Chain A
Amino acid sequence: GQNIDQPTEMTATEGAIVQINCTYQTSGFNGLFWYQQHAGEAPTFLSYNVLDGLEEKGRFSSFLSRSKGYSYLLLKELQMKDSASYLCAVKDSNYQLIWGAGTKLIIKP
């Protein structure tokens, strides 16, 4: 079966750096997405990786290793507004998105 694994919850301190991991086992691979979802709101797109390596977008970076079935989202200079769930999703060989359950990130002052 297809599977996306992420930690359920993480806690970090304001101003610090946090890394949220995602491992996947899917039938084929056509890209990996990270979305941010604040409580009670809709997910919003953060990043897309299809080739190995690091993609940087301001305070957020996303890394992909296709051979290891692994990605991480790196958040720097954490702010209180970064408290949210972070969803990892992989597009499989049929271009269908397989979603992880999300990682709830709690930022403490």
Chain B
Amino acid sequence: SQTIHQWPATLVQPVGSPLSLECTVEGTSNPNLYWYRQAAGRGLQLLFYSVGIGQISSEVPQNLSASRPQDRQFILSSKKLLLSDSGFYLCAWSRSDISGANVLTFGAGSRLTVL
């Protein structure tokens, strides 16, 4: 069966510090991978998605970047965090076929607080 791991679960960082959140998927190959951010009272905001190694699509211009160095690894980074980067970050995967009931399976999430 497929599993998705995301870490760290909780992070408290000072403004201006770097960030690295990591996500790995097991039990499948060539998944679509996603980074979402969830703010209180708002819908999930898609930050980045990837359909293959080295292929990253950015949905929202921001202080963050993403990389996919391996087929089942997706990393969210920042060189200098802003206060507005605080939030709940979710990694997700889906099958590569985007039609039909292409269900997203989420990682456990990373709670980032920037002080």
Interface residues of A (CB under 8 A from B): 4, 8, 30-31, 33, 35, 40-45, 48, 50, 87, 89, 91, 95-102
| Complex A-B: 20 CB contacts under 8 Å | A4-B43, A30-B99, A31-B100, A31-B101, A40-B109, A42-B106, A43-B90, A43-B104, A44-B106, A45-B103, A45-B104, A50-B100, A87-B44, A89-B44, A97-B44, A97-B46, A98-B43, A99-B44, A101-B41, A101-B42
Q: Are A45 and B46 in touch, CB under 8 angstroms?
A: no
Q: Which of B90, B104, B106, B111 touches A97 (beta carbons < 8 Å)? A: B104
Q: Is the interface of B mostly helix, strand, loop or mixed?
A: loop
B113 interfacial contact with A, CB 8 Å: no
A44 to B102, CA, bound (A): 13
Number of residue pairs across A and B with beta carbons under 8 Å?
50
Interface residues of B (CB under 8 A from A): 41-46, 90, 98-109, 111
